Structure 1
Amino acid sequence: MLYVERHHGYELKLEMDSLLGMKGKVNPGQIYTTLDRLIRDELVSSPGLDDQDRKLFELEQKGKDQVEKWLLEPVPYHSTKDDFFFKWNCSRRIGFQDEDKMLQNQKEVILKGVMELTSAKTEALMKGDENTYLWMSGLLLHLEADLNWIMQVENRIR
């Protein structure tokens, strides 16, 4: 990333894709739009071109300070904004008759996710990719918590 060394836009796109992992890919146009804003805000500069005539970007000290500040900010936990919880809450409000089926369908999706993540986690471990392994472990813990919550709901409505 720019925090460590200069890069051109495509290298940044590849790095972002790698960081996002299974969450998705970055639109290349978004990289350049963001870089333009960061240059405008004097967080990034462009010292010139590399040996293949690609525009280089580097992080200014003000930008490094912002990255460090951002890294230290905790990420809020939004358990009440969870999409399924909201949907389930709506179903309760209207007295939805197929609540059991709704819960069962969600459990199936979660179990499928657990199986896929377990496989990916094992693959990451075999490749020695510690970051991905730990990330997958965290995702699995969240899925397990969601599954436990659904089972608790099922036990309460019986």
Structure 2
Amino acid sequence: MSVKYGILTLLSVQENHGYELKIELESLLGIKGKINPGQIYTTLDRLIRDGLVFSVGIDDQERKRYGISPEGKEELARWLLEPVPYYSTKEDFHFKWSCARQIRFAEEMKMLNQQKAMIMKDVMELTKLKTEFLIQGDENKYLLITGTLLHLEADLNWINQVETRNRT
């Protein structure tokens, strides 16, 4: 989970202040009270330093408001299109996909296809290893790889369902 990209996602929808970003980010992640407000402001400071976010002024309650720069939008799009390796937690891709849906990312299908391609590459490599371990008689490694392949198959099925629902 990346607070940086969550903030960029939310700011691409609308300008906002830090505390509201915290609330919306927790909602996007499906958690409550898990993100330290200090983490939001530290991340905002880094995003401003890197030219991805800028201050748009103060609202009527004297809270500093933030917006996303064109460079920030480009960085968000780059991140959304970068496949998530399987050894990373599956939740990373689901979070990224949730961010893409939140902003109605025009290249969502490209993102899904790239993720599928990465999964298929992993499936091919693991299938080869699985066969080698079977021949060697290494039951533990064979079963571990079989389990990983089943998870990858489930991920592919989920992506296919998302694509099918996007077409309707």
Work out which structure has the larger RCO, using CA pairs closer than 8 Å and 6 or more positions apart in sequence: 2
TM-score normalised by L of structure 1: 0.49
TM-score normalised by L of structure 2: 0.46
Which is higher, the Rg of structure 1 or of structure 2? 1
